[in-house]
Structure 1
């Protein structure tokens, strides 16, 4: 018990390393996990919400026919309207500074030109538009402006078109065209040629020239369609089968596994460095001589120190699991969608990996690494593990040489074990695989056993040759 207490005291005496490597690096990795979780949670939203673009409408036609007012009402739901002064300098600065995505300029006489095109059947006039050089959204809004003008012109033509009632009454009599008869019998035309026959059979209509009031009513009618939910429905995801539930469960499992994978780097740094320094503190100088002279065996005390460090590493794993669940809840993901077996296997993989890091710290202490050397080794080897495990870089973009190196490191097999436990990722194409999880976890455990064996061999070599490990001393002889 005294050995365990002493180990914990030495551990917390190095709390600076725990704060830097376990807390600060852990927060950094958690922030990466949070970004991935929020993106995954946003992709599961039931309703699509588009970002609003900034649009400025410059009216030089004095709002004749309510064109400018109705256009603003039409674009208000999908865009953010910006007021700009109608000066060349202001408009140029707005576009150059990317203040707006689109500027719509309604020229003088536009309303009269639109009404005249309806009466004589000519081409309608166009508004002037200026799109921001950095925004593709401005082009999409320009299409909305064109849609509003088309709806306005269509509504205006429909309201101003009249057909001779006598001609219409004659079509319902015995002289009904054959295309109309087939339409009445079949309930609809069979092909596009039938549509053309019907349109050609209709009597010619006459379009009266609209006035400003008619144009204003048509523009307001076109603007009302933008906010009419019966016409423009919200884009929604409808769950029609169990596949949607399975997809949501897969997203939750992927998010949970990604968080647990990020424990790879801070756990390796903290436990390897602290383990090396703590175990080295008991094997140097006066401390070792006192322990050697004690009635308790050195092997027993060493085992107690290892068990104490292992217990602390497992406690860190429990804390990381609790934080992972909390992050999922905060991101809007339901942890209850996770399978109990998958969570237990993932937690087991993290625990085995944590014990492997303690074994690596034991190896460094047996080699007699100094504090600086232990920090350098852990940081370099930890970065190598992280960048070859698939946590920092997607596996799809990793070169072949890096993939070969990754399979000789424990980080790859730790991530593979999580993939097999939860049934996601490139390492688990066939879903949850207990055999794949056990095999990957066994390889992580073998890495830990390898570190222990190397450490024991190095320690035995150093103790059998004390002159290689003992510092140089200066003796003063009396004359």
Structure 2
């Protein structure tokens, strides 16, 4: 028990490694998960409708068309945002090239009079000069409103002509344009409000989003847990591998195997605690994002927690194996990052499985991260599906990796004990008091 307590003290004394590998890596994964949760919390949750308002610029070059220009602006202001792009050719070209406005409407010189003449003689109506944005459909929709305004103005002008028999003049056209806006303003049904009906599946969708967020966050632990536990375990157990320390340990009445088991148990306890904290954070993040976690099946929550604990024990086993090689801190960090990234990119967490090459899938199946993610998928609760048998099989394979790491570590330990570097030094070393 003394070795167990000493292991925990040495482990907790490695504050820098714990800060980098446990705290920082987990926070990095939580940051990625939070961005996904924020997007999921916004999806399908709106109870109001906000119509997109295109940016429209109206340029009047008609000396006698001020009233028509004002009426057109009033008509478009109901559904569009009016912007100013200037009046010169250079300014208009710059606005069109920079896509500053979705639609630019130019009233050419003499347009009002030509429109009146066309209506009086039943001729072809003149056209406005328009420039539609090339990046979206909002400009085209705004152009339809411009056409609608001209159509209503024409009908109003012709109706006035039929009522009093007077010819259609430029003044009559501008008066008709003003009456269009007045008529629409007095008609309550001209601009009907859009009401959003309640989606009967809205709550179910948000519950599904919470389940997806939770499961994805749990799977993101494939890299930080492996790297953190491998580094912390290897460096802690390396502290017992120094020549002077090993000599004293082997000279003690305790059995070597019992001391190694206590060292491993101390690191395993730390790994399980970290995995449970990660598990709690994975469940808390969807709650903080406003998603209802009651949609996550309780069985999914419990099985995922067990998968994290089992995976952390395998990571501790990998750290135990590396420590038996007496690798220095630089080598341990290199192995943890290379091995952790390899496991992450071949586990199916970083990329969808159907997009991964067959070579990556084959490599992934030879590593514990793949089976950890498969165990999560088996009990992810999609459509209420909980496959306990598949979870047990995948978790058993993950544990077999841990057993293999321990066996390799014991083999390395036996080779190290047979090395001749345990002999006494050639000269007596005086202890400093």
Determine which of 340, 344, 350 is the counterpart of 1:382.
Answer: 340
**Does the aligned pair in 1 maintain the 2:132–2:140 contact within 8 Å?**
no
Q: CA RMSD in A?
A: 3.4
Q: SS of the residue aligned with 1:41?
A: helix
User: In the alignment, which residue of structure 2 is the partner of 1:85?
Assistant: 86
Q: SS of the residue aligned with 1:378?
A: helix
Q: SS of the residue aligned with 2:109?
A: coil
Q: SS of the residue aligned with 2:106?
A: strand
Displacement of 1:338 in angstroms is 1.0
User: In the alignment, which residue of structure 2 is the partner of 1:307?
Assistant: 265
CA distance in 2, matches of 1:382, 1:225: 67
Determine which of 132, 141, 150 is the counterpart of 2:138.
Answer: 141
Determine which of 378, 393, 400 is the counterpart of 1:420.
Answer: 378
User: In the alignment, which residue of structure 2 is the partner of 1:233?
Assistant: 194
Residues 189-245 of structure 1: per-residue CA shift (max 9 Å, x gap): xxxxxxxxxxxxxxxxx9984531211222565689999662x625x47424xx655
User: In the alignment, which residue of structure 2 is the partner of 1:59?
Assistant: 60
**Does the aligned pair in 1 maintain the 2:223–2:344 contact within 8 Å?**
yes
User: In the alignment, which residue of structure 2 is the partner of 1:175?
Assistant: none
CA distance in 1, matches of 2:197, 2:366: 44
The two structures have a TM-score, normalised by structure 2, of: 0.84
Determine which of 417, 435, 438 is the counterpart of 2:392.
Answer: 438
Alignment of 1:17-96 (within 5 A): 17-47=17-47, 54-61=55-62, 63-65=66-68, 66-76=70-80, 79=81, 81-96=82-97
Query: Is 1:213 equivalent to 2:175 in the alignment?
Result: yes
**Does the aligned pair in 1 maintain the 2:207–2:293 contact within 8 Å?**
no
Query: Is 1:332 equivalent to 2:332 in the alignment?
Result: no
**Does the aligned pair in 2 maintain the 1:57–1:72 contact within 8 Å?**
no
Alignment of 1:55-454 (within 5 A): 55-61=56-62, 63-65=66-68, 66-76=70-80, 79=81, 81-114=82-115, 117=118, 120-131=121-132, 136-137=135-136, 140-160=137-157, 209=168, 210-219=172-181, 230=192, 233=194, 236=196, 238-240=198-200, 245-424=203-382, 431-454=385-408
**Does the aligned pair in 1 maintain the 2:108–2:128 contact within 8 Å?**
yes
User: In the alignment, which residue of structure 2 is the partner of 1:195?
Assistant: none
Displacement of 1:51 in angstroms is 6.2
CA gap of 1:108–1:332, structure 2 versus 1, over 3 A, is farther
**Does the aligned pair in 2 maintain the 1:64–1:111 contact within 8 Å?**
no
Displacement of 1:38 in angstroms is 2.0
Displacement of 1:385 in angstroms is 0.9
Residues 152-198 of structure 1: per-residue CA shift (max 9 Å, x gap): 234335545669x9xxxxxxxxxxxxxxxxxxxxxxxxxxxxxxxxx
CA distance in 1, matches of 2:320, 2:90: 71
Which residues of structure 2 form unaligned runs of 5+? 429-433
- Higher mean alpha-carbon deviation, 369-378 vs 109-118, is at 109-118
Q: SS of the residue aligned with 1:83?
A: coil
CA distance in 2, matches of 1:274, 1:42: 39
**Does the aligned pair in 2 maintain the 1:46–1:238 contact within 8 Å?**
no
CA distance in 1, matches of 2:23, 2:403: 27
CA gap of 1:473–1:373, structure 2 versus 1, over 3 A, is farther
CA gap of 1:335–1:111, structure 2 versus 1, over 3 A, is farther
Q: SS of the residue aligned with 1:74?
A: coil
CA distance in 2, matches of 1:452, 1:248: 43
CA distance in 1, matches of 2:357, 2:187: 53
Q: SS of the residue aligned with 1:105?
A: strand
**Does the aligned pair in 2 maintain the 1:328–1:335 contact within 8 Å?**
yes
Displacement of 1:132 in angstroms is 5.3
User: In the alignment, which residue of structure 2 is the partner of 1:172?
Assistant: none
CA distance in 1, matches of 2:108, 2:184: 20
Q: SS of the residue aligned with 1:402?
A: helix
CA distance in 1, matches of 2:182, 2:401: 73
Which residues of structure 1 form unaligned runs of 5+? 166-205
CA gap of 1:327–1:94, structure 2 versus 1, over 3 A, is farther
User: In the alignment, which residue of structure 1 is the partner of 2:431?
Assistant: none
Q: How many residues align?
A: 418
